[in-house]
Amino acid sequence: MNNELDGFTKICKYDDLKEKVGKRFFIDDVEVAVFKVEGKIYALNNICPHQHSALIYDGFIEDCKVICPAHGWEFNLSDGKMDKGRKGLDSYEVKIVQDDIYVKVFKKELNW
């Protein structure tokens, strides 16, 4: 692996992801929701901070946001933040190399 991909984990091929359909991956005990929207790849923590449900990957995509299917909380795909300033989701760096998608996660203490 080259230095450019240090800390990144290969998760799938670009074509394995369907447009506006999330997919769940586990990277070093971190649950990640990955989305393809208008050809761009986004990676967010899969655990909704509202009731700690692992459902973000199954959310609805609208206006470059993912909407949690449990209670409708909305998160920006680009940074995981919420418009109303409440808790957001961690977002993760994504790289695409020769049709392979790589994600770099960081572990975080959850203080719910």
- Regarding pTM above 0.75, the answer is yes
Residue pLDDT, tens place only, 35-82 = 999 999 999 999 999 888 999 999 999 999 999 999 899 999 999 999
Amino acid identity for residue 105 in this structure = V
- Which of 1.20.1440.130, 2.102.10.10, 1.10.760.10, 3.40.50.1980 would CATH assign to domain 3-104? 2.102.10.10
- Average pLDDT of the chain is 92
Residue pLDDT, tens place only, 84-98 = 777 799 999 999 999
pLDDT at 106: 86
CA distances from 91 to 1, 78, 81, 94, 98 (A): 23, 7, 9, 9, 23
